[in-house]
Amino acid sequence: MLVTLAAPVAPIAAHQLLVFLLQVGLLLLLALTFGRLAGRLGMPAVVGELFVGVVLGPSFLAHVAPGLSTWLFPQDSAQFHLLDAVGQIGVLLLVGITGIHMDMGMVRRRGATAAGVSIGGLLVPLAFGIGAGFLLPATLIPTGTEPLVFALFLGVAMCVSAIPVIAKTLMDMGLLHRNIGQLTLTAGMIDDAFGWFMLSIVSAMATTGLRAGSVLVSLACLLAVVVFALTLGRPLVRHSFRLTSRDEDSGSSVATAAVLILLASAATHAMGLEAVFGAFVCGMLIGTAGGVEPSRLAPLRTVVLSGFAPIFFATAGLRMDLTSLADPMVLLAGLAILVVAIVGKFLGAYAGARASRLNRWEALALGAGLNARGVIEVVVAMVGLRLGILSVEVYTIVVLVAIVTSLMAPPILRWAMARVEQTTEEELRRNEQLAWSNQPQTNGADPL
């Protein structure tokens, strides 16, 4: 009996490959250029990198040079998904590296403080967002969408924080070793875990209806990840790196770290949780499990921060069309939601920090860091648009909030942190992080 084998999958078409290579090369070139320009203006590189997508996307290039825009960024899902794939690898590795730099000892000691900040940073903007959802004109709500579902979805969009943007900002500004930087990342991860959990609930309400079983499954998956990390995860990571430590070349350690981070991301994604959650947890395990020399992972950090991450942030703006804000009603609604988003997150995080006995400058810095919503809010907005919960106008407004809050975080962070004295513990943590990046320990500014 003859077995007929399926024909092999055809390789990528020549024109599709050409466009993809030009896209990646141009995005990386402009991301590095704009990032360097942002640095000269006293802003983190991520600010310039985020701006690249706005320039090359429908907000600018499509209007200035529509022919070039259509050829370089065709409205073809397969072509776009190639860029998405590169960007996703970049953001997952970036979040994993951020997890490596987490000081779990400090997190355990000040876990109650991070929880207090997170609760404040969640509940207040969530309530503000729900209230704004009920007050928006009915013309901005898609036909057939229940006002409650729309309001809940807007509340979820207002309460999330963007761990990738926060992490890159803290690295660019040399604040990752500071206690405030560690608390911001911890509180931000709690916010994001809650935000993705709420997103799954609201999405279910908009499609199949909310069922108690789906909520319990999501909670069980979240608990399972935590239990696995605390029991089997650490020895598994330690053993993996002990096997690679025998090689003189650091390449095997870099590959092992990348494999673990990507597989952990795939696991949480398969469980219905966000992929970045798995990457962050895996990064923390790598940083605390032992068995790996920090300097052996320095090449991974260089490639991710200089290559993959800039492409991801540059890609984020390619779906944004800010020209719809020319409509006065949309613009006014956008400004109102922007104010609600900023005030809600600052007020909530500030109140939580002050209740946890942090001083006003530390509280202000936490509010500024958690206020950055970046591409996480863009992803949430895209889910709402796909499900029909958000209209194109409200989608644009949410994207505007994501951009503005990400751009305003760095200057406020710098201003507030200049008034927070660095401790001996932070200096020790800085030297440990320098070991991970294979850079000399100096008394100057932290390059992370």
417-429 tens-digit pLDDT: 888 887 777 777 7
| DSSP single-letter state for residue 142 | P
**Rounded CA separation 156/153 (Å):** 5
* Contact yes or no for 194/203 (Cβ under 8 A): no
Specify the pLDDT at position 24.
Answer: 93
Confidence of residue 445 (pLDDT cuts 50, 70, 90): very low
The string of DSSP codes covering 324-374 is GGGSHHHHHHHHHHHHHHHHHHHHHHHHHHHHTT--HHHHHHHHHHHH--H
Confidence of residue 281 (pLDDT cuts 50, 70, 90): confident
Confidence of residue 2 (pLDDT cuts 50, 70, 90): low
Specify the pLDDT at position 260.
Answer: 94
* Contact yes or no for 174/446 (Cβ under 8 A): yes
Counting every residue written for the chain, the total comes to 448
212-222 tens-digit pLDDT: 566 677 778 87
Confidence of residue 304 (pLDDT cuts 50, 70, 90): confident
Confidence of residue 202 (pLDDT cuts 50, 70, 90): confident
pTM above 0.85, yes or no: no
Q: What is the 3-state secondary structure (H, E, C) of 56-68?
A: HCCCCHHHHCHHH
- Residue with the two structure tokens 């990571």: 237
* Contact yes or no for 347/364 (Cβ under 8 A): no
| Letter string b/e over residues 48-67, b meaning 16 or more CB atoms within 10 A of that residue's CB | bbbbbbbebbbbbbbeeeee
Confidence of residue 19 (pLDDT cuts 50, 70, 90): very high
Q: 90 or 428: which carries more pLDDT confidence?
A: 90
Specify the pLDDT at position 437.
Answer: 57
- Token pair, residue 447, equals 């390059």
Specify the pLDDT at position 322.
Answer: 76
Query: For residue 445, with 0-12 CB atoms within 10 Å meaning exposed, 13-18 middle and 19 or more buried, which class applies?
Result: exposed
Q: 266 or 115: which carries more pLDDT confidence?
A: 266
> Residue 110: phi, psi to the nearest 5?
-115, 30
Q: 381 or 433: which carries more pLDDT confidence?
A: 381
Confidence of residue 440 (pLDDT cuts 50, 70, 90): very low
Specify the pLDDT at position 379.
Answer: 67
131-173 tens-digit pLDDT: 999 998 888 888 878 888 889 889 988 887 777 678 777 877 8
Nearest to 46 by CA among 406, 411, 412: 406
* Contact yes or no for 16/78 (Cβ under 8 A): yes
pLDDT of 385 above 60: yes
- Token pair, residue 212, equals 């108690």
Mean pLDDT of the region 230-235: 88
* Contact yes or no for 420/183 (Cβ under 8 A): no
243-266 tens-digit pLDDT: 877 777 778 888 999 999 999 999
Report how far apart, in Å, the C-alpha atoms of 246 and of each of 97, 298, 426 are. Answer: 22, 17, 32
Angle (deg, nearest 10), helices 374-387 and 163-173 = 160
- Residue with the two structure tokens 């876990």: 111
- Token pair, residue 412, equals 């406020």
325-343 tens-digit pLDDT: 788 888 898 899 999 999 9
Query: Could you give the 3-state DSSP secondary structure of residue 382?
Result: helix
Report how far apart, in Å, the C-alpha atoms of 365 and of each of 53, 122, 148, 189 are. Answer: 27, 16, 33, 17
Vertex 387: Cα angle to 220 and 52 (nearest 5)? 95
Query: Could you give the 3-state DSSP secondary structure of residue 4?
Result: coil
**Rounded CA separation 207/290 (Å):** 45
Specify the pLDDT at position 158.
Answer: 87
